[in-house]
């Protein structure tokens, strides 16, 4: 009788451990998909703000709340965001990209002589985005004159010299709101460069 009770207790302990492990895995998956997500920076496109190997925490809450409300999450101009590469092919690298928000639907973006300007109703003569928001330490390469389509964003890396950043200026195109994962909230690695955004 005692032996049978010990087996019952052991089975109960094993099921308790399995239940705990399942709860931890499900909880971690929910946190990763709904609340926060971690990404690693690859490439020089966001220098001097972010560098290869930097580890980021992306806040999923705004996009999750927007999704629940059946709306699009719209970030703030100048905010650094992570989004799914609209041209990503499964199995290839760069599924997710980190860039800075430059312009919104209906706004005209012009790059000329190394200067990036946004034209909108509030600034009909042009607005120097880089003066209002920190980031780029180099002139903006390329010649661009584009109006951002509905439900999309114009994004750019902070390292805007030719060949350093694939963004809305040169091949990536504008980014649909539906591809946005969320805004970067923290750099958590390297430890000596922990930063909130």
First to last CA, the chain: 63
Contact present, 130 and 110 (Cβ < 8 Å):
no
Contact present, 168 and 157 (Cβ < 8 Å):
no
For this structure, is 69 an active site residue?
Answer: no
Instruction: Please count the other Cβ atoms lying within 10 Å of the Cβ belonging to residue 97.
Output: 27
- Measured at the CA of 49, the angle between CA 43 and CA 53, to 5 degrees, comes to 40
Q: Which of 45, 63, 165, 168 is catalytic?
A: 45
Residue 49 Rama label (left phi>0; alpha psi -120 to 50; beta): alpha
Whole-angstrom distance, CA of residue 127 vs CA of residue 116: 8
Give buried/exposed letters for 25-57 (b at 16+ CB in 10 A, else e).
eeeeeeeeeeeebebebebbbbbebbeeebebb
Listed residue (133, 147, 142) closest to 169, CA to CA: 142
Q: Which of 38, 69, 72, 99 is catalytic?
A: 99
Catalytic residues: 45, 99
């Amino acid at each position: 009788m005692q032996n049978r009770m010990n087996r019952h207790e052991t089975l109960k302990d094993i099921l308790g451990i399995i239940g705990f492990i399942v709860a931890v895995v499900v909880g971690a998956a929910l946190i990763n998909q709904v609340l926060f997500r971690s990404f690693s920076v690859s490439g020089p496109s966001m220098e001097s703000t972010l560098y290869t190997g930097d580890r980021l925490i992306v806040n999923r809450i705004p996009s999750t709340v927007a999704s629940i409300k059946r709306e699009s999450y719209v970030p703030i101009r100048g905010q650094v965001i992570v989004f799914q590469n609209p041209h990503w092919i499964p199995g290839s690298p760069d599924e997710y990209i980190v860039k800075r928000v430059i312009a919104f639907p209906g706004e005209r973006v012009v790059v000329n002589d190394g200067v990036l300007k946004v034209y909108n109703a509030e600034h009909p003569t042009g607005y120097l985005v880089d003066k209002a928001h920190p980031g780029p330490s180099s002139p903006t390469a390329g010649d661009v004159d584009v109006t951002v389509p509905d439900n999309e964003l114009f994004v750019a890396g902070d390292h805007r010299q030719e060949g350093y950043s694939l963004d809305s200026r040169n091949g990536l195109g504008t980014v649909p709101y539906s591809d946005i994962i969320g805004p970067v909230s923290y750099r958590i690695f390297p430890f000596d460069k922990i930063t909130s955004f």
